[in-house]
A and B are shown apart, each in its own frame.
Chain A
Amino acid sequence: MPHSDGVAPTSETCGHGSKHGCTHRGGCASADPAIDANALISARGIGVTRHGRDILIDVNIDIEPREIVTLIGPNGAGKTTLVRVLLGLEKPDRGTIHRRRDLKIGYVPQRFDSDTVIPMTVERFLMLGGSYGEARIAEVLGLVDAAKARRQQLGELSGGELQRVLLARALLRKPNLLVLDEPVQGVDFMGEADLYNLIGGLRDSAGFGVLLVSHDLHIVMARSDRVVCLNHHVCCSGVPETVAQHPSYVRLFGADAARAFALYRHDHDHSHDLSGMPQAADGDVTRSAGGDK
């Protein structure tokens, strides 16, 4: 490795700067920092090329224990490809990935074609991920506010219910890294806030790291410890406030996105379930589990 870990050297521009319309702050492939052995996952110089097109270019990313990392970027920026590479579902053409030996991933996939082709109840679906007792399943389903779905067939669930069930399956594994690929698709705006609060609260209590993928920035950022802005390569990364002010972030998402925090931080005296129905604040499982401020 060219130099020790720590802060990557600042280089003004590099080859792909012009290609993607943003300048680099971190180094390029020639200056990859060393693998972070303490991180849950540490990837260096990840490159993926499909049909002559670069999907990922020299991506470096670390996910530390207990850290919430949000991966943002426009549609088609390579976010899902990066996640698949990190999960080991796809082999990168270039680069190295270090996974900590005790890494246990809970994965909430982006798409779940919940067709009714396989007859299966929610309970059985959860048992597929491992062998859990009745009480544990009830506990986790309660945690994600999906206790009612337990005996339902998978094909009967709404989009929001399915997301909660997928989250439950991931949580049952007691992961030390939770990976969520655009978990709020098909879930309305307020349900989204609750979902992120729930995940943030669970991180605080269970202590896992979180890798969250989103193309929608309005809510994601405030709960994140670190935001990585991806558009085939890492445009910028840092704490949410820094990234929101970063020129390449503003260029990528527009000035509106930089004002997203105000939107997030409004307090509401009620919450919504994932299908958007308002619910009273007291006695709401999501809120108490989510550890709302």
Chain B
Amino acid sequence: MFEPFFLRALLASLGLAVVAAPLGCFIVWQRLAYFGETVAQAGLIGVALALAMQMDVTWGVLIVALAVAALLVWFGRQKLVGLDSVLGLLHHAALAAGVIATSMVKGAPVDLTGFLFGDVFAVTQADVVVIFVGGAVVLALVAWLWQPLLRLAVHEDLAAAEGVDREMVRTVFIVLLAVAIAVAMKIVGILLVMAFLVVPAVAARPLSGTPERMVVLTGFIAAASVVAGLWLSATFDSPGGPSIVLIMSIVAGLSLSWAAIGRPGRRGS
């Protein structure tokens, strides 16, 4: 069970679980799940771009994710069509364009399943290094911007009127989100990236009375799900990424059920 490929998978997934925790919480707090989903699915275009230009897939995904995020912000300036509809449009357009683009890449046929659902056991040593170094940078930036991020998440206008630079903070957050998506894609794939970010945060919400506690709990739930999911995968030979996400979802389901019955999440500091 503890062969090198398994250890690499474990390390990469655990690192990602920790980095994803604060981002996932902010996605839940600011209702950005569908936004992130759209950006993630556009990653498939990035995959095709990277393959065509023979560069690392992570870079291709990152570039396209940023471009789509910018496009979403741009479309958000008009008020005639709601953002949910714009997201629906781009979400499906990106998926369609991505599938077409990957099918047109010359050379060896592209393994679409690997990109859509990830291949956690194919993680290389270099990938692990990227996750840990990149993850440290992401965490440092989130820590630095924690207070303004929180103020904007609670009430954007209030924070802006009190002097928070919302354009700057929001831009940094979107860039961080795109980085996380690009890096996480290798492990859980384009279709499950958002689940990896959002589901542990959803699971943690009913059990949290402060934002910080929710972030820590999100990290714990994600890490535990990673261990359990990879064990499941090794034992029953199920796909790695989906196994992790399935465990996360079960925890979230239980947590929400508990919230639906009782009155949790009310205790303060």
Name A's B-contacting residues (CB within 8 A).
50-51, 84, 87-89, 105, 107, 109, 112, 116-121, 123-125, 128-129, 151-153, 156, 166, 169, 173, 179
Contact = CB atoms under 8 A, between A and B. Distances in A.
B269 A123 contact: yes
A177 to B, nearest CB: 11
A257 B160 CA distance: 35
Q: Which interface residue of B147, B154, B160, B265 has the most chain A CB atoms within 10 A?
A: B154
Contacts of B79: 50-51
Interface string B187-226: 0000000000000000001001111011000000000000
Given A88-B160, A117-B29, 9 more contacts: A84-B157, A87-B161, A89-B160, A105-B161, A117-B28, A121-B210, A121-B268, A153-B266, A166-B158
B157 A153 contact: no
Contact of A129 (B31, B162, B211): B162
Interface residues of B, number: 27
Contacts of A179: 161
Contact of A119 (B31, B151, B155, B213): B213
A112 to B, nearest CB: 6
A65 B161 CA distance: 19
Contact of B269 (A51, A124, A128, A169): A124
B261 to A, nearest CB: 16
Nearest to B151: A128
Contact of B155 (A88, A112, A121, A153): A112
Contact of B154 (A120, A152, A153): A120
A118 B266 contact: no
A107 B158 contact: yes
A232 B79 CA distance: 20
B268 A151 contact: yes
Contacts of A169: 158
A118 B154 contact: yes
Contacts of A118: 29, 150, 153-154, 211
B147 A123 contact: no
A270 to B, nearest CB: 33
A20 B90 CA distance: 42
A153 B209 contact: yes
Nearest to A87: B161
Contacts of A128: 147, 150-151, 154
Contact of A109 (B28, B155, B213): B155
Given A87-B161, A107-B158, A117 B31 contact: yes
A89 B205 CA distance: 31
A245 B215 CA distance: 58
Given A128-B150, A153-B266, A153-B268, A120 B211 contact: yes
Contact of A156 (B147, B208, B266): B266
B159 to A, nearest CB: 8
A50 B77 CA distance: 12
B161 A116 contact: no
Given A88-B161, A128-B151, A119 B269 contact: no
B155 A116 contact: no
A172 to B, nearest CB: 11
Nearest to B204: A119
A117 B269 CA distance: 16
Contacts of A88: 160-161
A185 to B, nearest CB: 15
Given A117-B29, A120-B210, A173-B162, A125 B154 contact: yes
A88 B199 CA distance: 36
Contacts of A166: 158
Interface string B28-42: 110100000000000
Q: Which interface residue of A50, A128, A156, A173 has the most chain B CB atoms within 10 A?
A: A128
A119 B28 CA distance: 11
Q: Which interface residue of B208, B268, B269 has the most chain A CB atoms within 10 A?
A: B268
A50 B205 CA distance: 39
Interface string B138-154: 00000000010011011
Contacts of B265: 116, 119, 153
